[in-house]
Amino acid sequence: MCKKILTNEERNRLVDAYKRMGKARILAGAYNVSERTVFRLVSQKNKTGSVELQTSKRGRKPKISENDLQKITETIIEEPDITLQEIIDKLHLSCTVPSLCRIIRHKLGFTRKKKVYTPPKEISPKYKPSEPNGRNRCQNSTPINSSSLMRAE
């Protein structure tokens, strides 16, 4: 027997027919579904009051709620330099750093702005301070021999 996906209207008619007749085997054959489907739909109607497809209950549930997303956005706006781990610790989130990174990038639309690290100004050992004539020379370089240069003619 090939199983059939029922529309919401067919589901309602099936449950109503079961309540009138009480014979799941006959109804299952008429609607081309299993007896288990008939009993499941009747049970769903008794529990929820509806036999519609429950598409909202499918798939993995998000670990971050809409409220958490709002708090993350506010935190990032208040402290733009905050790290992902600091956000997790501050808001007590139950997700990993890579997950939070994806959420911030894709759901909230924030991009990461890398800070350019500039070390304190030091005189590099490769370079000498300015010479009296105003030219800087590299310590490790050798003087250029003018005889070894060739002119392009």
| pLDDT by position in tens, the chain (length 153) | 556 788 889 999 999 999 998 889 999 888 889 999 999 999 999 998 888 887 777 788 888 899 999 999 999 999 888 899 999 999 999 999 999 999 999 888 888 766 666 666 665 555 555 555 555 454 444 444 444 444 444
What is the pLDDT at residue 49? 87
Q: 3-class SS at 109?
A: coil
d(CA 70, CA 128): 54
d(CA 42, CA 14): 9
d(CA 104, CA 5): 38
Domain boundaries, the chain: 8-53, 66-107
76 contacts 69 by C-beta, under 8 angstroms: no
Helices and strands per DSSP (H, E), number in the chain: 6, 0
What is the pLDDT at residue 75? 93
Q: 0.85 exceeded by the pTM? A: no
Amino acid at 65: S
Return all residues near 39 (Cβ < 8 A) that are at least 6 apart.
Answer: 24
Count Cβ atoms below 10 Å from residue 27 Cβ, excluding itself: 22
